[in-house]
Amino acid sequence: MSFDITSAYTDYTYNINVYVPEVDMPEGGFSVVYVLDGSSYFQFVKEIVRLQSINAAKTEVFPSIIVGVGHGEDMRMRRFYDFTAPAESYVYPEKYRGAFDGQHGGAENFSRFLEEELKPIIQADYPVNTNKQVLFGHSLGGYFALWQLFNASASYHKYIAISPSIWWNNHELFQYADTFLDAYSELNATLFVGVGGLEEFMVDDAQKMAQQLGKAMGTTFYVAPDENHGSVVPTIMSRAFRFVNN
């Protein structure tokens, strides 16, 4: 199923795709995975879950509802707004300087869209287990997944951050992590952080973040050998979705 929803918080129209497994519903409902950059990843995630859950005893990937949250034709620029945190000032890497014109810092409103507008629709229309909700993001989407964890950890029970853009705004996510760990000594939520072995400094960033957060929550860190920023997602998905069900 596919539908559009215009958010009152972001003043933007998102395309939502929903996959519901054609199997008997488990007790309490299906786990639900919210996939950021749904225009790119929804179909891929759907097929991984559909195919591998046929033999769940071996794959450890079980039937789940998949919700893809997609942008329109302006996806490339808009995601810099929706997925990044507000800040008093921004420090850009050289290659990005002058490229944004202030089109960033909308994470708070995007989070409200997910929590207050999209999730109620999904929970009303589909057999969702609200105690088994997962947030998946890659790159800037991975940044947002971590930001959401730091600001509203109870929103999801599992977080998947693939090649998260921890570099954004002078590595501000490490400051968020420090504040977060000061407030929580132990969490029920768990985190999967994955990165491609060829992603250079992003490997060190991801590993440092996983180690830091491992002090307070269950954290899995995985480096996919010989993969880069563009190739890492297909390589790492099966491992990430086994994490969803473990």
pLDDT classification of 129: cutoffs 50, 70, 90: very high
User: 40, 155, 229, 238: which is the annotated catalytic residue?
Assistant: 229
The pLDDT value given to residue 76: 83
The pLDDT value given to residue 184: 81
Average pLDDT over residues 157-182: 95
Query: Could you read off the pLDDT of 46-82 as tens digits, one per residue?
Result: 999 999 999 989 998 999 999 999 999 888 889 999 9
Task: Work out whether strand 13-19 and strand 2-6 pair parallel, antiparallel, or are unpaired.
Answer: antiparallel
Query: Could you read off the pLDDT of 201-245 as tens digits, one per residue?
Result: 999 999 999 999 998 899 999 999 999 999 999 999 889 988 877
Q: Examine the residue annotation and report whether 199 is marked as an active-site residue of this protein.
A: yes
User: 31, 39, 139, 153: which is the annotated catalytic residue?
Assistant: 139
Average pLDDT over residues 13-26: 95
**Closest to 243 (Cα-Cα) out of 191, 187, 207, 189:** 191
Enter the pTM of the model: 0.95
- Cα distances from 121 to residues 7, 40, 124, 128, in angstroms, run 12, 22, 5, 11
Average pLDDT over residues 166-170: 93
The pLDDT value given to residue 94: 72
Comparing 99 with 71, which gets the higher pLDDT?
71
The pLDDT value given to residue 98: 62
pLDDT classification of 96: cutoffs 50, 70, 90: low
pLDDT classification of 105: cutoffs 50, 70, 90: very high
Decide yes or no: CATH 3.40.50.1820 for domain 2-245: yes
Q: Examine the residue annotation and report whether 111 is marked as an active-site residue of this protein.
A: no
> CA 178, 113, 230: angle at the middle one, nearest 5?
65
Contacts with 94 (C-beta within 8 Å, 6 or more apart), sequence order:
none
The pLDDT value given to residue 92: 75
The total number of residues written for the chain in this structure: 246
The pLDDT value given to residue 31: 94
User: Is pLDDT at 99 greater than 70 in this prediction?
Assistant: no
Average pLDDT over residues 125-137: 96
Residue 97 sits at φ, ψ, to 5 deg, of -65, 130
Residue 217 sits at φ, ψ, to 5 deg, of -155, 160
pLDDT classification of 172: cutoffs 50, 70, 90: very high
CB atoms within 10 A of CB 175: 12
User: 53, 157, 165, 199: which is the annotated catalytic residue?
Assistant: 199
% pLDDT > 70, the chain: 96
Sheet holding 13-19, edge to edge: 2-6, 13-19, 64-70, 30-36, 128-138, 158-162, 190-196, 218-224
Q: Examine the residue annotation and report whether 39 is marked as an active-site residue of this protein.
A: no
Range name among 33-42, 161-170, 183-192, 220-229 with the lowest pLDDT average: 183-192
| Tokens representing residue 226 in the block | 């010989």
